[in-house]
Chains A and B, each alone.
Chain A
Amino acid sequence: MPEFDVSMLLSGQYHDMLLAGLSLSLMLLFVSLLLSLPLATIVALLRLSPFAPLRAIGFVFVESIRNIPLLAHMLFWYFGAPELLPDSWRKWLYAGDIEATCAVIALTLYTSAYMAEDIRSGIRSISTVQFEAARALGFSFMGAMRRVILPQALRVTTPPLISQTLNLWKNTSIATVIGVAELMYQAGQVESATFRSFESFAFATAAYLSLSLMITGLAAWFQHRYPARAL
């Protein structure tokens, strides 16, 4: 086996390719995370709604997305969904970066279905008396949620949400199947150009691991700093 060549990772063309991949992976992570959080909150509230049809919509959303692999989501959004759009929309879509757009759509939907369940169980962990007392004091459903339940639920839900962020970070790698030039894709490109599989995969693994380590550390810090209060 040839020896490990660090220099190709530290500078030059392949170094730039891998770094470009890493930054696109990070972009996918941040954009999908920012879009997932509000969507997940809405879906969680749908699932807790007093109105049965809304609850059903939330249930169908969560179950239909969680029970299909992310790869199938990606393939559907990239190969399938654009065909359903009107011609002019499709032209506009293909003019932009359609791969990254489809990856963000798939990642956002997938992550928000998981996060919605975490938020829902966080909200449910707050005693119903809290909600009833708030309603009795004259808060509306949304007002009681916003001022009484959510601030308490946030402490309980943040650790699982951080671990979903970790899953999202790992899931960005699947965007490689639809040709998004993120870290995994670039590692594969460098591997096929140089036949240095060990170096390029070591770089990618180290990058994935170090961010995972940071996210895990963040979760541990949060649980230490803001422990869930017993009610």
Chain B
Amino acid sequence: MSGFLEIIDTYWLYFLVGQYPYGPLGGLALTVILASLALVLALPLGVVLAFARISPWRAVRWPVSALVFVVRGTPLLMVVFWAYFFLPSVTGVKTDQFTTMLIALVVFDAAYLAEIIRAGIQGLPKGQMESARSLGLGYFPAMRLVVLPQALRNMLPSLVNQFVSTIKETSLGYIIGLAEVSFITSQINTQVMVWPAQIYLVLGLTYFTMCFGLGRFAYWLERRLSRRAIAAPLQEVSA
């Protein structure tokens, strides 16, 4: 047990925000910001990719399906390496670690979100789209006003779970030297020298608290939504 309290007492601020007031923001705050930003930016891209995946035109469907497959078949680390080493040589702009990691996460998450969103759209009864179209809405207005709102609501638990995955994925920023919480923990470890097990247990506990809490929240959402889904047909009958 010795060590835990000393470490937390000395390094809690560094662990939470990195060098922040005197240097760049880091630590747990950076992890949360990176994960949130990645998910928020990946969502619209995921919707576009999902639309392309179910598009009636092969010219759109096939290349996007191939892209989704390639991203899902390679490790995230590979995507990070491509973004880190290869993007600067193509664009000529040297991007910093945060932007590199953000780009990699957005591309990676969008491919996974595309499959979640596709399943959400396809899981909705066909009648929803057909009746929206027969009421005179075009394909895209029907998607935007009728199908997507319902599909996104059903997907909420999956989206929360994807956020949990994204938080875990941000830890790979460690490899390219991004000062997120895993990297900061290693910095602390090299400063303290003793008690490495305790230091990494604190790191594990931190991730656990965030991800387990969010996972329970997703579970609660899922049960709440499934209750409402059962209630829905009854309302239709009574109306």
Contacts and interface: CB of A to CB of B under 8 A. Distances in A.
User: Are A and B subunits of one complex?
Assistant: yes
Interface of A: 1, 63-64, 66-73, 75-76, 79-81, 83-84, 166, 170-174, 176-177, 184, 187-188, 191, 197-198, 201, 204-205, 208-209, 212-213, 216
B199 interface: yes
Sorted from nearest, which 5 A-B pairs have the closest CB atoms? A212-B73, A80-B197, A67-B211, A69-B168, A173-B75
Interface string B181-213: 010011001000001111111011001101110
**Taking chain B's interface residues, is the majority helix, strand, or loop, or is none over half, making it mixed?**
helix
A197 B85 contact: yes
Given A1-B89, A67-B211, 6 more contacts: A79-B200, A170-B74, A177-B174, A191-B85, A197-B89, A208-B74
Interface of B: 70, 72-78, 81-82, 85-86, 89-90, 164, 167-169, 171-172, 174-175, 182, 185-186, 189, 195-201, 203-204, 207-208, 210-212, 215
A68 B208 contact: yes
B204 A213 contact: no
A67 B74 contact: no
B204 A72 contact: yes
B208 A67 contact: yes
Contacts of B212: 63, 67
Nearest to A212: B73
B7 to A, nearest CB: 12
A171 to B, nearest CB: 7
A128 B68 CA distance: 39
A72 B200 contact: yes
A184 B182 contact: no
12 contacts: A67-B164, A68-B204, A69-B169, A73-B204, A76-B200, A170-B76, A172-B75, A174-B75, A176-B175, A184-B81, A197-B86, A212-B72
B77 A176 contact: yes
A3 to B, nearest CB: 13
B86 A201 contact: yes
B211 A201 contact: no
Contacts of A166: 73
